[in-house]
Chain A
Amino acid sequence: MSELFVSVLDWIAILCILAGAMLSFVAAVGLIRFPDLLSRMHTAAKPQVLGMLLVLLGIGLRIMPVEETGVFDFGTLILVGLFQVITVPVAGHIAARVGYRTGRIRHDLVVTDELEDRLDARRQAERTRQNGGSAP
């Protein structure tokens, strides 16, 4: 490949990696500044998905010009990206759910709380059932 092409690829790669590092920094600042668990989780997910994908793209663009076989490395990059995209939402969902269930959520900061309504309705139904259906 020509020198110019490699140079252009390098510049794109460094810009991608810089963007990933900036997302990481932004997540850390949000971790310090934000008031409760849910809003901290909101910023913490950015470098885990978007930042990671940008960094993987940068690695791929950097390694591509010097690569001969190209099979193993790009396979690893794609696997890392795939695992991040699949696992980060699952982990975030479980952490938020546990936080809510154990009362670590600041309810004054939650604008819409549909789970609360559903839990109320269910508690009401169970209370009615326990009283033999007589009490309202």
Chain B
Amino acid sequence: MNTLWTVTAVLLGVASLLGTARLLMGPSILDRALSVDVLLASALTGLGAYAAFNRDPTILPTLLVLSLLGFVGSISISKFVARRPEEHLRPEETVHPATTEQGESRE
């Protein structure tokens, strides 16, 4: 059983490393926000695994805080990007004029 706990920890560690790599590479700000979400999911899983391993329910409220924090963070980044569409685009990103023409209009 100890082996399985170790495997869990290693998987989460590698997942965090790969997520950090995408956080550093990510072409657009939305990719970075997405990789932060995945990192947060890894952190939630890790904290959960810690709680389960020690049979320790005291850190469960932390899971609640982290899950709500991830939601608020991802929404606010999206809204921040939506308000200023062009400024965060780098030259190598493809812009399709058909979709940017109307900006953030309602559909």
Contact = CB atoms under 8 A, between A and B. Distances in A.
Interface residues of A, number: 65
B102 A37 contact: no
Interface residues of B, number: 66
A101 B97 CA distance: 10
Given A80-B67, A84-B67, A102-B82, A24 B11 contact: yes
Main DSSP-derived SS at the A contact region: helix
B28 A104 contact: yes
Main DSSP-derived SS at the B contact region: helix
Contact of A28 (B1, B30, B38): B38
A79 interface: yes
Contact of B38 (A47, A115, A122): A47
Contacts of B100: 101-103
Contacts of A59: 48, 51-52, 60
A20 B46 CA distance: 10
Nearest to B19: A28
B9 to A, nearest CB: 8
Interface string B4-19: 1101100110111111
A15 B53 CA distance: 12
Contact of B1 (A14, A29, A98, A103): A14
B55 A66 contact: yes
Contact of A17 (B28, B35, B49, B82): B49
Interface of B: 1, 4-5, 7-8, 11-12, 14-19, 21-22, 28, 30-31, 33-35, 37-38, 41-42, 44-45, 48-49, 51-53, 55, 57, 60-61, 63-64, 67-68, 70-71, 74-75, 77-79, 81-82, 85, 88-89, 93-105, 107
Interface of A: 10-11, 13-15, 17-18, 20-22, 24-25, 27-29, 31-32, 37, 40-41, 44, 47-48, 51-52, 55-56, 58-59, 62-63, 66-67, 72-73, 76-77, 79-80, 83-84, 87-88, 90-91, 94-95, 97-107, 115-116, 118-120, 122-123
